[in-house]
Amino acid sequence: MSSPELFIGLMSGTSLDGVDGVLADFSPVRPRLIAHHYLPFPPELRTRLLELHAPGDGELHRAALTANQLVQLYAAVVRELRRVAAVARESVLAIGCHGQTVRHNPAAGYTIQLNNPALLAELSGITVVADFRSRDIAAGGQGAPLVPAFHHFVFHDSELHRVVLNIGGIANVTDLRPGQPPRGFDCGPGNVLLDAWIGARQGKPFDHDGAWAERGSPAPALLARLRRHSFFDLEPPKSCGREQFNLQWLEQELSGHESAADVQATLLELTAASAANAITRWCGKPVEVLVCGGGARNRALVRRLAELLHPARVLTTEALGVDVNVVEALAFAWLARQALRREPGNLPAVTGARGLRVLGAIYPA
């Protein structure tokens, strides 16, 4: 029996809801999840992170302080994972920590994830791998999405054409065709607009099961205006974020005559239709579409995807034994493993980089 290969993955995404952490063993053919822990962001931290998405006074100082506060949460998640699993820090080979993206501008040659991996290594006593996007961008790539390589590692089937649809704040697609290299790209807004609108109108963090959206009806004129966003027609490779899809952009497109529930219904349709259109346009006719991320918990959204993508089977990754909430955190645990092994973590066909690259900066314990 092989020795365990224990890695921790930490992910806080565009939804700005909190930190997902996993402890996994990569010695089996497929990773074995040992523990999962979620820690929500305190409201003041979420507010600070949202503010840092736009230029402002003293932002460098505020960003550094916010990164340190964020790392305290990361360290708390690591401690809880180790406690639940009764694992010594010396047994964990590394932590893969993506950090919190506040700027993503690959066209200008940079991306910024708030993080302090040196502090995390100090607090945890475990080697930390961070800054996964920069090397890909330096090689001419988008630096995102980074999860398709992991999707291929876990979900590829030698006979079945699958597409993995990850619906976090932003939605991304991984095309897994038998006998062909995997492809992937961001396809547009996931939960980011849905969460922003219900937060602004009802003070809720998200629309549970899409219940509010189901009380409204999509507004055709608004949907048409939103779908004119230039991102949707870009050819892959491509990536996006809050820079493209945010509450301010949405409010500029409103006529003022829509009901709040109808706007929510329109945003659900935008998320579903942009993902379905991207799959149909660039991924052909998959047999299965595996949905993961927070959007996989939105029953109305998954139901609409199933209607739009018929006859493909629309399932969640839980059908293959992988919790929808842990896929991205597992991906960054795997990317940390790739970095320690000096093996590539990017896919040039996905990001547009000039070639395979080892991703991540290593901060030894």
Do 170 and 304 lie in one domain? The reply is yes
Do 300 and 178 lie in one domain? The reply is yes
Please choose, from the candidates 247, 211, 205, the residue with its C-alpha nearest in 3D space to the C-alpha of residue 226: 247
Do 39 and 160 lie in one domain? The reply is no
How high is the pLDDT of residue 352?
95
Per-residue pLDDT of the chain (365 residues; tens, 9 = 90+): 678 999 999 999 888 889 999 999 999 989 999 999 999 999 999 999 989 988 888 899 999 999 999 999 999 999 999 999 999 999 999 999 999 999 999 999 999 999 999 999 999 999 999 999 999 999 999 999 999 999 999 999 999 999 999 999 999 999 999 999 999 999 999 999 999 999 999 999 999 999 999 999 999 999 999 999 999 999 999 999 999 999 999 999 999 999 999 999 999 999 999 999 999 999 999 999 999 999 999 999 999 999 999 999 999 999 999 999 999 999 999 999 999 999 999 999 999 999 999 999 999 99
What b-and-e string marks burial along 311-348, b requiring 16 or more CB atoms within 10 Å of the CB? ebebbbbeeeebbbbbbbbbbbbbbbbbbbeeebbbbb
Q: Is the CB of residue 283 less than 8 Å from the CB of residue 254?
A: no
How high is the pLDDT of residue 53?
86
Do 341 and 267 lie in one domain? The reply is no
The bridge status of strand 288-292 relative to strand 162-167 is: parallel
Residue 41 DSSP one-character state: P
DSSP secondary structure of 12-36: --TT-SEEEEEEEE-SSSS-EEEEE
How high is the pLDDT of residue 14?
83
Please name the helix (run of DSSP H) or strand (run of DSSP E) that holds residue 309, with its range, or none. helix 299-309
Do 251 and 138 lie in one domain? The reply is no
Angle between helices 327-340 and 148-155 (to 10 degrees): 100
Q: Is the CB of residue 7 less than 8 Å from the CB of residue 26?
A: yes
Distance CA 19, CA 132 (A): 17
Do 205 and 129 lie in one domain? The reply is no
1 assigned to some structural domain:
no
237 assigned to some structural domain:
yes
Please choose, from the candidates 101, 90, 122, the residue with its C-alpha nearest in 3D space to the C-alpha of residue 332: 101
Distance CA 95, CA 74 (A): 10
Distance CA 150, CA 333 (A): 10
Residue corresponding to tokens 């929500």: 40
pTM of the model: 0.93
Q: Is the CB of residue 167 less than 8 Å from the CB of residue 293?
A: yes
Please choose, from the candidates 120, 40, 34, the residue with its C-alpha nearest in 3D space to the C-alpha of residue 74: 120
Token pair listed for 245: 């899809």
Do 268 and 281 lie in one domain? The reply is yes
Do 164 and 302 lie in one domain? The reply is yes
Domain of residue 110 covers: 6-143+325-363
218 assigned to some structural domain:
yes
Which parts of 37-160 fold into alpha helices (H)?
43-51, 59-85, 117-124, 134-138, 148-155
Please state, as a whole number, how many other Cβ atoms lie within 10 Å of the Cβ of residue 245: 25
Do 114 and 199 lie in one domain? The reply is no
CATH number at residue 132: 3.30.420.40
209 assigned to some structural domain:
yes
Q: What is the total count of domains within the chain?
A: 2
Do 135 and 70 lie in one domain? The reply is yes
Do 134 and 225 lie in one domain? The reply is no
Do 156 and 124 lie in one domain? The reply is no
How high is the pLDDT of residue 1?
61
Distance in Å from the first CA to the final CA of the chain: 28
How high is the pLDDT of residue 2?
75
Three-class secondary structure assignment of 197-264: HHHHHHCCCCCHHHHHHHHCCCCHHHHHHHCCCHHHHCCCCCCCCCCCCCHHHHHHHCCCCCCHHHHH
